[in-house]
């Protein structure tokens, strides 16, 4: 189990483009097949090699755990087919004007925290799809929780200005330890530069050694520079 460094399409903001669970990692088609497969090998999971709505921003437009995936209403049929070919969980195209569900939801297989502005019927769709309890919350006083933290079934790494009451809520709902840190040489929006599952973590290429150490401890993976 390891912390790896990489970039996506020349960017260290890999969490904007990619999405990882214990079941699969979603990586945009524009990433070469060999590189995408290598990332899937690092995470010890299946590769879903596709865009979402023709966009590279799969990490921002979707949220998933082992039970299901929540998708932007812009997703195309061929993209749905690609996802369903590699993932046997619940696949839901959301009935909402919101599109950036990767930014609005922080989830693992045990629970989910969502943007407090999310409507009740959307929260129910998220709960039914991911098969977890869904609770509204903030991180560092901000609502776009998916971009402010990364959650796995072993731990959470969150924005360094996480408040104590927010930490307690995260630990209660996601049922794992919570720590704080940064990625990509000081960026506090952890979800933009990190993907992870129970097996490994992959951070943006600008992430420093001390940041990798914190990531490894928070998500219970062992630090190793590749």
Asked if residue 202 lies in contact with residue 26, where contact means CB atoms within 8 angstroms, the answer is no
pLDDT tens digit sequence for 65-121: 999 999 999 999 999 999 999 999 999 999 888 899 999 999 999 999 999 999 999
Question: If you search the block for the tokens 């049922």, which residue do you land on?
Answer: 175
Model confidence at 224, pLDDT cuts 50, 70, 90, reads: very low
Region for 92 from its dihedrals, namely left if φ exceeds 0, alpha if ψ lies in -120 to 50, beta otherwise: beta
Kindly state the tokens that stand for 85.
């070919």
Report the CATH number at residue 117. 3.75.10.10
CA dist 76 and 198 (Å) reads 29
- Print the domain residue range for 165: 2-223
Domain count, the chain: 1
């Amino acid at each position: 189990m390891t912390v790896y460094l990489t970039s996506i399409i020349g960017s260290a903001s890999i969490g904007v483009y990619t999405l990882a669970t214990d079941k699969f990692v979603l990586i945009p088609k524009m990433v070469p097949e060999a590189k995408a497969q290598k990332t899937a090998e690092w995470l010890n999971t299946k590769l879903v090699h596709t865009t979402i709505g023709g966009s590279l921003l799969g990490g921002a437009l979707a949220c998933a755990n082992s039970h299901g995936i929540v998708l932007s209403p812009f997703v195309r049929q061929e993209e749905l087919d690609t996802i369903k070919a590699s993932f046997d969980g619940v696949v839901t195209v959301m009935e909402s004007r919101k599109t950036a569900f990767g930014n609005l939801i922080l989830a693992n297989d045990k629970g989910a925290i969502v943007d407090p502005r999310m409507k009740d019927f959307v929260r129910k769709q998220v709960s039914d799809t991911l098969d977890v309890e869904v609770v509204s919350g903030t991180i560092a006083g901000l609502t776009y929780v998916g971009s402010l933290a990364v959650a796995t079934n072993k731990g959470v790494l969150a924005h360094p200005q996480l408040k104590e009451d927010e930490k307690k809520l995260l630990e209660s709902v996601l049922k794992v330890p919570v720590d704080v840190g940064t990625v990509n040489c000081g960026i506090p929006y952890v979800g933009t530069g990190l993907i992870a599952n129970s097996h490994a973590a992959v951070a943006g290429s600008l992430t420093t050694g001390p940041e990798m150490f914190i990531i490894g401890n928070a998500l219970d993976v062992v630090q190793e520079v590749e």
